[in-house]
Structure 1
């Protein structure tokens, strides 16, 4: 039985990822910051709720200790929690705005990965999936034909570029762990007022695919539902 821990999983992409992996036979630990919403989501899906705030060292340590006490280890870690951040124009963005976005989207991944690596290493085939975005692709954000090239979000795009680079560096540094990044694509979620053309199921295709790779699967890649993404 594969045990999978997902951050930010009480709604949208994280929730759908949890649903699909449970359907595929995984034991899913649904991580969320809000106890009421997280527990309700977990109960509805048949997952176990674990409270985690990825911006708080003590919360992340407590979550890892909870999993160690109950499951003993995990096979897959999905770093899904993320925020869009300030909608202010670029000339009004502040250092505090940047710190808030990077603390969730980037530092949160480091914080959670550090805490959960000992649990992952109890698995024969440990896997980490970092949910990045095509908005963090240098190639796509310079292509005027792509939606990524027409939408401005300086802090979010910079944070997701950092997530992708962090993924490749972890993949090189941790040869015993498969570490990949997934781009959900422009998906109808709370992030964009449900304006994206993809369904939430389509948006989780790459996440689910990377979460279910075998021991010969890829590492250090950046993929969407159609295949490898340009950096």
Structure 2
């Protein structure tokens, strides 16, 4: 088995995911570019290789059980282990139709399937590969809108951002799921943390964000490369700990 460190980044063909892949590649990781669209995935791999990154494409739809299993088999054949898994793939659903009283339950199911169940699918499929690494790391790209503290004021009223009964709670759900993994993996060398990239200008929000994708990638990259003895079960942003 090669001693070369390998990372898998889901949703890595663009935006924050691409910059996470680029940043890990610049640190010497072989990077699996996980993405659904073959053309965009190939283009991202080519761009990364042009900058000197050792990148390879991983066909990956996080909502597809068979596809996730195939992705794990591909990585096993390619590198034999996984040192860092960054669960970045996510969707917002229709942010203009997410008031609780008018919610489209199909949209909510789709968002949870991608943002929460997709993370569970991928993480479980990759755990055997992660266990082969000397210092494995898992990073879930979350969001400040998943913080109950930031989403509620003194009287419990929503204080920031649009009402989003699908997207925002999906990130709260994701954070809660992470803590259950932390409990299960206690005593192992696997560190798992959540990262808030901030309000980044990507197509996810119509490029309304105030941070660049490179800035949004900083905390995920830091958490993916934590030294042994680093934190686990935390929720972090560039400025420090995010209140839950």
TM-score normalized by structure 1? 0.95
Matched position secondary structure for 1:154: coil
Distance 1:82 1:148 in 2: 23
> Which residue of 2 is the match for residue 187 of structure 1?
200
Q: Report the alpha carbon displacement of residue 123 of structure 1 after superposing the two structures with TM.
A: 0.3
Distance 1:65 1:171 in 2: 25
- Verify: 1:70 aligned to 2:78, yes or no: yes
Distance 1:89 1:181 in 2: 24
Q: Report the alpha carbon displacement of residue 2 of structure 1 after superposing the two structures with TM.
A: 1.8
Matched position secondary structure for 2:85: strand
Distance 1:179 1:171 in 2: 7
- Verify: 1:136 aligned to 2:146, yes or no: yes
Distance 2:44 2:75 in 1: 18
Q: Report the alpha carbon displacement of residue 26 of structure 1 after superposing the two structures with TM.
A: 1.1
The runs of 5 or more residues in structure 1 that have no matched partner are none
Distance 1:214 1:21 in 2: 14
The runs of 5 or more residues in structure 2 that have no matched partner are 50-54
Superimposed CA distance per residue, residues 133-172 of structure 1 (whole angstroms, 9 cap, x where no aligned partner): 000000111149xx97232211100100011111111112
- Verify: 1:88 aligned to 2:94, yes or no: no
- Verify: 1:126 aligned to 2:136, yes or no: yes
> Which residue of 2 is the match for residue 158 of structure 1?
169
Matched position secondary structure for 2:118: helix
> Which residue of 1 is the match for residue 228 of structure 2?
215
Equivalent residue for 2:117, pick from 103, 107, 118: 107
Contact persistence 1:180–1:220 (CA under 8 A): yes
> Which residue of 1 is the match for residue 31 of structure 2?
28
- Between stretches 160-169 and 90-99, larger displacement belongs to 90-99
Superimposed CA distance per residue, residues 99-128 of structure 1 (whole angstroms, 9 cap, x where no aligned partner): 100000000001001100000000011110
Equivalent residue for 1:167, pick from 178, 183, 208: 178
Q: Report the alpha carbon displacement of residue 94 of structure 1 after superposing the two structures with TM.
A: 2.1
Contact persistence 1:143–1:149 (CA under 8 A): no
Q: CA RMSD in A?
A: 1.4
> Which residue of 1 is the match for residue 63 of structure 2?
55
Contact persistence 2:97–2:104 (CA under 8 A): no
Equivalent residue for 1:204, pick from 217, 222, 226: 217
